[in-house]
Structure 1
Amino acid sequence: MNFNFLSPVSDQVLAHNELLSTQALGRKLRIHSNQHGIPDLDDVDIAIIGVLENRNDVDYIGEEFQLDEIRKSFYGLFPGSWNTIVADLGDINKGESVEDTYFALKEAIVILVKKNIIPVILGGSQDLTYANYRAYDSLIPMVNIVNVDSKFNLGDSAKPIKNNSFVGKIILDQPYNLFNYATIGYQTYFNSQEEIDLMESLYFESYRLGQISNDITVVEPVLRDANIVSIDLTSLKGSEVSLKQKYSPNGLDGKEICAIARYAGISNKVTSFGIYEYKPSKDDEMTSMLVSQMLWYFIEGVNFRVKDDDFSEDRNYQKFITLVESQELVFYKSNKTGRWWIEIPFLAEVNNKLKRHTLLPCMHQDYLDACNNKVPDRWYKAFQKNSV
């Protein structure tokens, strides 16, 4: 397997790892080292890849960064009672050009996803999500992306790609493989009214910070439906992170971001997960520890995945039918996990790429709302998208 573009985990981190308890996570990982090369990937479930690329950050002024502090924090944690096998494949260094870095990341993701390994990307700037998305061109027909971010990052797609405009490129660059884009934790004052209107007109989903702080479970269905999850560390509250990482006094707190990471892990559809915009500073323990805990919760989620979205047998689910404004809504509840889905009427004349999207994850609350004659928002947006 050709991973020539990956550089091994630094000797300093490996020396630190040797001093840890034999029970620590770092002692149980398969690590890409100078001494032993790329580890054996047979039966690996999750592979961590660092990407040291930040040149498309709008504020880039030539600074380098590394991920050693995150690795030290992460290796020092203790695993849960997991059956999940995790590898750390080291880092993709900056290529000659940013496009070279994108290409290397894309190749790595394609190789891993085809082997049923979930790549976890630790990144520089969030425009790397574009390379992550492009890897799916050869993997699946339509892609759902969830971005945990205070901004929509739509930007001006006519200009070169940056970390604040990569979503515009994802929407407008061919091939068009994006089905749904959802933003979790957006803060209205960071987004222009034009962007907010555009998200609405494209029937994309957005969850405001206040909505999530009020009830974190609202994001579970959208994460259950995601293929790619991308987290921008600037979505975190300034008090939760180190000096250079501070961005806004308001944002998601540590518990909320870890819950989101766990929901992403539990989702059967999520096949790649990325954490971006890491900016190390001298007092770095806070950010690196929080990122490590997010990784921990993601792995914990993956470990507890349950296959329950197969509704071919009646005994696997209960079916509920309600009538809202003369529209029949059909809900399914999994007997195994208690999770809910709603059926989207499949329109025969619409592009066949959408065939697998006929069941949409939802909440019990959506069913209760439907019983009270209120159309669930997710269903309405998906139905409109299918009708376009």
Structure 2
Amino acid sequence: MEFDFLKPIDSDFLEKLSSQQLGSKIVFHTKDQFPDLNKINIAVIGVLENRGSDTAFSEVDIMAIRKELYSMFPGNWDASIADLGDILAGDTITDTYFALRKVVSNLIKNKIIPIVIGGSQDLTYALYRAYDELEQMVNLVSIDSKFDFGKENEETSSNSYLTKIIIDEPNNLFNYCNIGYQTYYNSQEEIDLVEKLFFDGYRLGEISNNIALAEPVFRDADIVSLDLNSVKSSDSGNFSIFTPNGFNGKEICSLSRYAGISDKVSMFGIFNHNNSVQESVLVAQIIWYFIEGFHYRSNEYPFGSRENYIKYIVPSEEEVLVFYKSDKTDRWWIEIPFISNGNNKLKRNTLLPCSYDEYIGACNQELPERWWKAQRKNSI
């Protein structure tokens, strides 16, 4: 069974918690019991694997994160949460990928959202492959200072896993978006490749100046992979790998909340934890905000009907654009028309999340870049 890969956790530290703290409201996988997954919305999993990291620590220890997280007080949440324990490093890194893939695939098929704490970021590849059995296209969002491309024959690592995702069959990746890349960490060839593949990238400065730019991106994501090295060291407490620039604590928690509030995000991974107690505090708060966001999901498109939306038709010189605005949350979408060419990845007209500013731009005859890229990608 898939869950045999999970090692139960020692929950002795919970005895010191009050009944009001989060740890007292969570079901744990212990040596005596395994949670009833029929009653669970969110599952926390640790993955003690870091062989894909160029700067691997001797071991991965996430108990400090658990202690910080479960000592916090929950919001007014009704989500049922379980901690399923840890996946240990296998004999080879491929074994770890296999175990992680099997566990998370089973969870998402049962509509349970895994929060995966690692370990090196190449574990994102195993999260992506977990969708193979669902036979659906996947949108991946990475919060990262780098694009993590590598050479085609290079071993998979936290700095090259994206190449393996793009090349390996079956190719289920529809879109990739990087949030927070720093140009001096990425070659011009990598930046050009992102454009050539019609992927999306937002520089750190763009998001820091207007963090709301990221909200539509998360609204269309299936997997969110967060590299903790995207947070500056003065806020993360990670001085083993010194990062002078990056997101601050408030920004990274805001991004995590956007991921949680997205109706479509079905998996959240946090990677490259450096085992420090200081960084554990931040990771716990990131997870708290994701769960907080989940509580405020509104079950809009693609899970709800567009019939209750306000439809706006914007004619331009080249196209007639169709926008929809939710009367529930005031969020915006733009319609991507179905193109029948035998290869298209979209099987019908679909809605792409966008912003109010993009609607205003379209009214001023400016085609939204995300609409243009989706069109080109669908016609390939």
Question: What is the TM-score when the length of structure 2 is the normalising length?
Answer: 0.96
Partner SS for 1:18: helix
Say whether 1:42 aligns with 2:38. yes
Using the alignment, how far apart are the partners of 2:334 and 2:238 within structure 1?
44
1:39-95 Cα shifts (integer Å, max 9, x gaps): 2222200000000000111233x7112111000000100000001011001100011
1:109/1:132 contact within 8 Å kept: yes
* Alignment correspondent of 2:28: 31
Distance 1:76 1:313, change over 3 A: closer
Shift of 1:351: 3.1
| Partners of 2:163 and 2:243 in 1: CA distance | 24
Which residue does 2:3 correspond to in 1? 3
Shift of 1:2: 4.1
Cross-structure match for 1:51: 47
Give the deviation of 1:33 after TM superposition.
1.4
Give the distance between the partners of 2:305 and 2:114, measured in 1 at CA. Answer: 30
Runs of 4+ in 1 over 6 A off after TM superposition: none
Amino acid corresponding to residue 28 of structure 2 in structure 1: I
1:96 aligns with 2:88: no
1:239 aligns with 2:231: no
Moved more, 137-146 or 69-78: 137-146
The superposition leaves residues 228-273 of structure 1 with CA deviations (integer Å, 9 ceiling, x where unpaired) of: 0000000001101224454311101111111111111111111110
| TM-aligned CA distance change 1:110 to 1:300, over 3 Å | same
- 1:1-388 superposed matches below 5 A: 2-10=2-10, 14-34=11-31, 36-60=32-56, 63-244=58-239, 246-281=241-276, 284=277, 286-309=278-301, 312=305, 314=307, 316-351=308-343, 353-355=345-347, 358-388=350-380
CA distance in structure 2 between the aligned counterparts of 1:56 and 1:81, rounded to whole angstroms:
38
> Are the aligned partners of 2:21 and 2:73 in contact in 1 as well (CA < 8 Å)?
yes
Are 1:234 and 1:245, in contact at CA under 8 Å, matched by a contact in 2?
A: no
Displacement of 1:325 after TM fit? Answer: 3.1
Equivalents in 2 of 1:49, 1:87: separation in Å?
Answer: 9
Answer yes or no: is the 8 Å Cα contact 2:341–2:379 preserved in 1: no
**Cα distance change, pair 267–124 in 1 and its aligned pair in 2 (3 A):** same
Cα deviation, residue 350, structure 1: 4.2
SS at structure 1 position matched to 2:163: helix
RMSD: 1.5
Over 3 Å counting, the alpha-carbon distance change for 1:337 and 1:243 in structure 2 is closer
C-alpha distance in 2 between matches for 1:331 and 1:82: 33
Distance 1:29 1:18, change over 3 A: same
After superposition, what is the alpha-carbon deviation per residue over 1:117-170, rounded to whole angstroms, capped at 9, x for unaligned? 001100100000000000101114200000000000011122111110000000
CA offsets, 1:308-327, max 9 Å, x none? 2167463x111111123321
Q: Distance in 2 between matches of 1:332 and 1:240?
A: 38
CA contact (8 A) 1:245 1:287 kept: no
Equivalent residues of 1:244, 1:280 under 8 A apart: no
State the alpha-carbon separation in 1 of the partners of residues 60 and 227 from structure 2.
Answer: 16
Cα separation, partners in 2 of 1:357 and 1:200, compared to 1, 3 Å: farther
Label 1:175 to 1:27 Cα distance change in 2 as closer, same or farther (>3 A).
same
In the aligned structure 2, how far is the partner of 1:378 from the partner of 1:350? 23
> 2: CA distance between counterparts of 1:41 and 1:56?
30
Instruction: Return the offset for 1:174.
Output: 0.7
Displacement of 1:15: 2.3
Q: 1:21 to 1:109 in 2, by over 3 A?
A: same
Mark the CA change 1:74 to 1:203 in structure 2 (over 3 Å): closer, same or farther: same
Q: 1:344 to 1:66 in 2, by over 3 A?
A: same
Moved more, 266-275 or 304-313: 304-313
Between 1:24-33 and 1:324-333, the stretch displaced more is 324-333
Partner-residue secondary structure (3-state), 1:4: helix
| Deviates further, 76-85 or 345-354 | 345-354
Amino acid corresponding to residue 3 of structure 1 in structure 2: F
Q: TM-score, normalised by structure 1?
A: 0.95
The count of corresponding residues between Structure 1 and Structure 2 is 379
Once the two structures are superposed, residues 199-245 of structure 1 have per-residue CA deviations (whole angstroms, 9 ceiling, x without a partner) of 01001000110000111010111100000000000000110122445
* 1:366-385 CA distance string (max 9 Å, x none): 00011111111111111111
Aligned partners of 2:2 and 2:99 also within 8 Å: no
Instruction: Give the deviation of 1:301 after TM superposition.
Output: 1.0
Q: Percent identity?
A: 54
Gapped regions of structure 1 (runs ≥ 5): none
